[in-house]
Amino acid sequence: MYYRIFRYIVLIAVLLFLGQACEDEDPSVNSSRLRLKLTDAASVAMKEFYVDISEISVFLVDTAMHEGEWYTLEFSGKTYDVLTLRNGKMIQLVDQYVPAGKELQQIKLKFGNDNRMVVITDSIKTIPLSIHPDLEDGLVIDAVSMEMRLNTISSMVIDLNAALSVVKTEEGDNYLYPVARAFPEVYGGKLKGYVAPLDANPYVKVIQEKDTFLSIPERENLGDQMLMFQFIGLNEGDWEVHFVPDPQANFRDTVVIVTIEQGETFNIPTKPIRLKRLSEE
């Protein structure tokens, strides 16, 4: 009898040990799943804009203890043409487990040496971009805080503003100095609309107080006679939407006001916004 009781005790102990071992090896236990995505606020002057990201870290804060630390994510490094990521398009950088019960407050990007832009002037020209001395330890982006909840997938978007991410010195040197923001994918509201005609070759600019974002509209289908644009992660409230045609196309600028609401997509009801020629009354 004593032997049988002893055998049961040993069996229970082994099962408890195996259960604990499985928990130690399973990264999903007591964790939250983080997906990090990249998108772009476009540049009118650039044709291509390549950013070489070598390392990504996130700053997670224990809000109860008011303490935080940097976590280096599982990312092997890659070069991205961020100008392909406009009008709502994104690419996933990271998808991994991180400690749950913490708040993501900052993101740090480190860069490799394969940064460059392609511009169109009289010809197409590729310009290499050096890492700005201020960014040797990486670029820290203050994020709209996001709670990393247990057994939940949370997506954070990095929106890199290509138009403002190059610094040119008086000596003619070109440096990569990204201007970026980061926000949960469910943050704010979205704006979508259409503009015509094609030969106006316009870009779209949205403005709210100190915030200004650009988009280069594009055809959804080759047969379309209008161009689609989209903005994501916009603060609630009124935004000015500026339709700015190519100066050589002889069309008028047009401005409309829209109201963005949290979690909603505002579709501009006039489809498309049709720009008028300067010769038209």
Query: pLDDT tens, 16-64?
Result: 434 444 444 555 556 899 999 999 876 667 889 999 999 999 999 998 8
Q: Which DSSP string corresponds to 45-110?
A: SEEEEEEEEEEEEEEEEETTTTEEEEEE-S---EEEEGGGS-TT--EEEEEEEEESSEEEEEEEEE
Pairing of strands 124-128, 116-120: antiparallel
Q: Is the pLDDT of residue 14 over 90?
A: no
pLDDT number for residue 92 = 96
Q: Is the pLDDT of residue 4 over 60?
A: no
Average pLDDT over residues 196-221: 93
pLDDT digits (tens, 9 = 90+) for 109-120: 999 999 999 988
pLDDT digits (tens, 9 = 90+) for 96-155: 999 999 999 999 999 999 999 998 877 789 999 999 999 989 999 999 999 999 889 999
Question: Using CA atoms, how far apart are residues 89 and 100, in angstroms rounded to an integer?
Answer: 28
* % the chain with pLDDT above 90: 71
Q: Which amino acid is at 88?
A: G
Both tokens of 109, joined, read: 């990007």
* % the chain with pLDDT above 70: 88
Average pLDDT over residues 177-201: 95
* β partners of residue 118: 48, 126
pLDDT number for residue 138 = 96
Both tokens of 159, joined, read: 């929106």
Q: Which residues contact 275 (CB under 8 A, 6 or more apart)?
A: 195, 196, 197, 200, 202, 243, 245, 251, 252, 254
CB atoms inside a 10 Å sphere around CB 259: 11
Contact between 250 and 278 (Cβ < 8 Å):
yes
pLDDT number for residue 68 = 93
User: Which carries the bigger pLDDT value, residue 192 or residue 40?
Assistant: 192
Confidence band (pLDDT; 50, 70, 90) for 179?
very high
Q: What is the pTM of this model?
A: 0.84
Contact between 127 and 176 (Cβ < 8 Å):
no
Question: Using CA atoms, how far apart are residues 49 and 128, in angstroms rounded to an integer?
Answer: 10
Q: Is the pLDDT of residue 198 over 70?
A: yes
CB atoms inside a 10 Å sphere around CB 29: 13
Scanning the chain, the segments in alpha helix (DSSP H) are 2-25
pLDDT digits (tens, 9 = 90+) for 76-93: 999 999 999 989 899 999
Contact between 111 and 54 (Cβ < 8 Å):
yes
Q: Is the pLDDT of residue 11 over 60?
A: no
Please report the sign of the dihedral spanned by the C-alpha atoms of residue 80, residue 204, residue 238, residue 266: negative
pLDDT number for residue 222 = 75
List the one residue out of 203, 106, 221, 105 whose CA is nearest residue 162.
203
Average pLDDT over residues 248-268: 96
Confidence band (pLDDT; 50, 70, 90) for 223?
confident
The chain-wide mean pLDDT, for the chain, equals 87
CB atoms inside a 10 Å sphere around CB 194: 19
